[in-house]
A = this chain, B = another copy of it.
Amino acid sequence: MAGAMRSITRCVFTCKLSGRKHSACLASCSGIKWPQATGERHLATKYGLLDTGTDIIPLADAKRFMTDCMMAVGSPREHAEALAVLLAEADYRGHYSHGMNRLDMYVSDIQYGNCDPKAKPSILKESPATAWVHGNNGIGAVVGNFCMALAIKKAKEAGVGWVACKGSNHYGIAGMYTMQAMASGLLGMSFTNSSPFLTPTRSKQASLGTNPISLAAPSKGDPFVLDMATTAVAVGKIEMERRKGNPIPRGWALGPTGQVETDAEVAFKTGRLMPLGGEECNSGYKGYGLGMLVEIFCGVLGGANFGRNIRKWGSQDSLANLGHCFVAVNPECFAPGFTGRMEELIDMMRQSEQVDADSPVLIAGDPERAHMKAVDDHGGVRYVKDQMATCAKLAKELNVKPLQSL
């Protein structure tokens, strides 16, 4: 979580909505989901592609490297590749915090004996539209792919597939799985619980994870891919502001006594995120409610760890035993012409009256599309320096071929 986008310093745009310097606003929008402008230079800057401190790594080599590392710690090729595809996709889409940045965490989980790289998930219970799965403490990507494939199969047979699992590990970007359903012409949803960061409204104790929700829906035009934490922001955003010496807006995080914190340094060290909405007077209890929804679908339905029972972020003192939930819905079971109407809705939103002529109205998935184009144009990703250093160290430790730049 800590390694992404550390050298973004060049963007000079001003946020027309907030009136804040873009350097601040850009950071507010990190997690790389919603850039303030869509020009290539902006995106490239935002995503580190113009960081000339390092070379460009083709995605194919990033995948090769990650596969090699995972195999070096005992993962079968198939499982290693599943994780490599997941992390490379996150980087490709601009979600660097969930990409190669986390490779050492996955490697470490295996080295500590807290994740079984060989384990395959098993089905514990089934009905026409549902399945309960045991991840058997396997790699999150392996468990996730298995569950979503099952949900897709059931959606094709019964209209809906709803799969919950226990005994899993960190599964990367939630959007990875929902896009698998979308590629089959279905709506996909995915949820996961995670280590405690979110403080319930009126509490100062981290009690739920950032618990993301993803929905992917196919369209005749661009698809809709929502992938969002139910906290106001991710920890990584606070870290970015801290590194720049900026304050953070009210509504992101609490300080040690439970007060709303605007000092990024204090907020980062405290590690207590506010739910989406922020303070109670701005309906932060709704974000807390959504975090609970995710926990109910994952930890409670799946019979996994939940809430504060989940180990702390970065801890290796016990198994993660995370729960995920995967849903696929066949739009052909409902009104004909779904993808055409999706395109119409998306066009309607994009064409809605802008506050500022320079700031286009986007839909979920637009920033990622722009980022993927930039990566394609550049032939790869220019990872930030300490990301490259971490990978070089890993290559040496695991005795695998280092990343090969263009």
Contact = CB atoms under 8 A, between A and B. Distances in A.
A307 B348 contact: yes
B307 A349 contact: yes
Interface size class of A (residues with CB under 8 A): 35 or more
Interface in A78-117: none
A397 B277 CA distance: 43
A285 interface: yes
Contacts of A335: 132, 164, 166, 301-303
Interface stretch (A28-36, A65-73, A373-381): A28-36
A199 B233 CA distance: 21
A305 B60 CA distance: 44
Given A215-B296, A303-B341, A204 B353 contact: yes
A295 interface: yes
Nearest to A34: B285
B130 A333 contact: yes
A130 B296 contact: no
A329 interface: yes
A200 interface: yes
A187 interface: yes
B128 A129 contact: yes
A353 B203 contact: yes
Interface string A302-328: 110011110000000000000000000
Contact of A281 (B29, B162, B207, B342): B29
Nearest to A365: B289
A128 B158 contact: yes
Given A202-B359, A228-B286, A132 B333 contact: yes
A40 interface: no
A228 B292 CA distance: 13
A280 to B, nearest CB: 5
Most chain B beta carbons < 10 A, residue from A157, A200, A286, A355: A286
Contacts of A289: 226, 228, 364
Contacts of A160: 129-130, 158, 160, 162
Interface in A22-58: 24-25, 28-29, 33-34, 36
B200 A352 contact: yes
Contact of A301 (B128, B249, B338): B338
A187 B164 CA distance: 14
6 contacts: A131-B333, A200-B352, A202-B355, A226-B289, A276-B276, A278-B278
